[in-house]
Amino acid sequence: MRIQHQVGKLILNIWFVKDIYIHIKDKITFWLAIMLLAGCGANVPVVKMEGMPPDQRREVNKVEIYNQTQLIGRKFKVMNIVEGISCKNKAWDHAATKSDAVFQARYWAQQLGADGIANLQCDHPRGTTTTYNCWESVTCTAEAIKFE
């Protein structure tokens, strides 16, 4: 009788430990999933055009794009190199486009106080990138310029 009692207690303890293990495992799995999803944002600075007020979009679009011929005889200084990245980060985001990447480059130039951008060059669309954490991306670089 005493052995049966101890075996019964042992079985109850095993069930109890098993329940605690399952409970802890479920909580760990839940928090790991939350942390992984929280880290799923784009790793690049992207300005969402859709959320921008129309007047601010107009200001960004006032930043002119110049080619070398248009700059002949004009005095300007290169303020900095700007990079615009269009990134499709989530499955439901719009596709990465060259026009969005150009807008991003113009936005960063406008933030610097530039009059325009020159030597604009855009890459071909890329598939999944671990560098940017994007399903697809397009990158444009340019020189942010200020006329003297």
Q: What would the pLDDT profile of 54-72 be if each residue is shown by its tens digit?
A: 999 999 999 999 999 999 9
pLDDT digit string (tens) for 15-42? 665 666 665 666 565 544 444 444 455 5
CA neighbor of 106 nearest in space, from 84, 122, 85: 84
56 and 93 part of one domain:
yes
Same domain membership, residue 133 and residue 107: yes
Print the domain residue range for 87. 49-147
Characterise 43 by phi-psi region: left (phi > 0), alpha (psi -120 to 50), beta (else).
alpha
Q: For residue 14, is it within any domain?
A: yes
CB 82 within 8 A of CB 117: yes
Number of domains in the chain: 2
Q: Are residues 100 and 79 in the same domain?
A: yes
Q: What is the pTM of this model?
A: 0.69
- Residue 60 identity (one-letter amino acid): V
Residues 73 and 131 in one domain: yes
On whether residue 44 sits in a domain, the answer given is no
Same domain membership, residue 80 and residue 103: yes
Is the distance from CB of 137 to CB of 93 less than 8 angstroms? no
